[in-house]
Amino acid sequence: MAKRGAIVDMGRHKALGSSWRSMDSMAYSRSYEPETRPEFRCYVTGQAKAWQAEYDAKVAADAKREAQMQALLDLKQRMLDKNLL
């Protein structure tokens, strides 16, 4: 049995706050909620390969359009050189 006076009164303690106060809600959101940023959507939905193919097709179309414009500019320059315009 404990001797009298072994338990020392520590005084009044501050009331504890909610344990949710210290939780990082944005980290929880990033971990468990679906991705909403469009630039990262392909990694979440598993469509990375399809998006890469779509991007490659767009790059090829842009390169083709650029080549056509360059050919038209060259033709126009040749016509100007021959005073046809």
Q: Which of 35, 34, 62 is nearest to 54 (CA)?
A: 62
- Once rounded to an integer, what is the mean pLDDT over residues 77-84? 91
User: For the chain, what is the mean pLDDT?
Assistant: 78
User: Where do we find the tokens 């679906």?
Assistant: 34
The structural domains of the chain, with segments of one domain joined by +, span 48-85
Instruction: Check: CB of residue 34 under 8 Å from CB of residue 44.
Output: yes
Q: What's the predicted TM-score (pTM) here?
A: 0.45
pLDDT at residue 69 above 80?
yes
Q: Which residue has the higher pLDDT, 67 or 52?
A: 67
Rounded Cα gap, residues 62 and 64, in angstroms? 5
Q: What is the pLDDT of residues 43-60, one digit of tens each?
A: 556 677 888 899 999 999
Angle at 64 between CA 58 and CA 66, to 5 degrees: 100
